Amino acid sequence: MRSSLSRFVFCFALLFFAASLGVPSLTSPAAAQDDGWLLVRALYGFRDAQVDVTNLLRDLIARGGFDGRIPVSNETMGGDPAIGKDKTLHIIARNRRGEEREFNFREGAFIDAGMFVVPPSPPPPRDDFGDRDRDRGNDHDRDHDRDLSILRGYYGVQGRSVNVTDILRSRVREGRLFFDVNNQNLGGDPAIGADKVLIVIYRFRGEEQATAVREGNRLELP
């Protein structure tokens, strides 16, 4: 049985070959980086069916994307706000002079994670794998989970999602995480009647990765 991670990697391979179909408008990576564009807001969708993905995109940018790039897809944007439509990611950013500009990326395109900067993030929680100030008494637990660390988790649909990072971290056992993705296991239903998606950003053996699992399917990491 193929794991959710394998399906995710396969999806990204398809998106890689489709990258030439989507081209960002109004700017180039070099120009954006030179001007230091600060991400202010991000919307994903089609016409009136758009959802705010600012926080999700900021998180992906802060972590350098996937090998330096961020695919514009329903999986990375947390769901499909306009099924059957050709969607666009609209980014509003501000440079050092306070000038705002809009960048547009079509579904299937890739964003260079170095194009934008994001506000500094608060220090990670003490139970994060990267926290080197953890109490010595927890070293034994850290040894068990050293190969897998949950960095961030979201469950729902765009505009109606919840942060389930703590729930995911609490379910890591002996370096593995596996369970059925449903409302009961993830603390409730953030979008009643909608087909929800669980997005997990994690570190495995020193490499940051991500996976997306639809409601009703099984999450298996690594």
Q: What is the pTM of this model?
A: 0.51
Decide if pLDDT at 15 tops 60: no
Can you read off the two tokens belonging to residue 22? 């989507």
pLDDT at 53: 87
CB count in 10 Å sphere of residue 92: 16
Contact 117, 36 (CB under 8 A): yes
CA dist 216 and 185 (Å) reads 11
Q: What is the spatial distance between Cα 116 and Cα 133, in angstroms, rounded to a whole number?
A: 30
Q: What is the pLDDT of residues 64-123, one digit of tens each?
A: 877 788 889 877 787 788 889 999 999 999 998 889 999 999 999 999 989 999 876 555
Contact 104, 92 (CB under 8 A): no
Tens-digit pLDDT profile for residues 180-220: 999 999 999 998 998 888 888 888 888 777 788 889 999 99
DSSP assignment letter at 115: G
Phi, psi of 58 (to 5 degrees): -60, -40
Strand locations in the chain (E): 37-46, 49-52, 69-71, 88-94, 100-106, 110-112, 116-117, 148-157, 160-163, 177-180, 197-204, 207-214, 218-221
Q: Which amino acid is at 21?
A: L
Q: What was the pLDDT predicted at 167?
A: 93
Q: What is the reported pLDDT for 35?
A: 53
Which pLDDT does position 71 carry in this prediction?
Answer: 86
Is 201:153 a contact under the CB 8 Å cutoff?
yes
List helix spans (H) across the chain.
4-17, 29-35, 54-62, 139-144, 165-170
pLDDT of residue 62: 83
**Is 18's pLDDT higher than 50?**
no
> How does pLDDT run across 128-164, given as a tens digit for each residue?
444 444 444 444 444 444 589 998 888 888 668 888 9
Helix, strand, or coil here: 19? helix
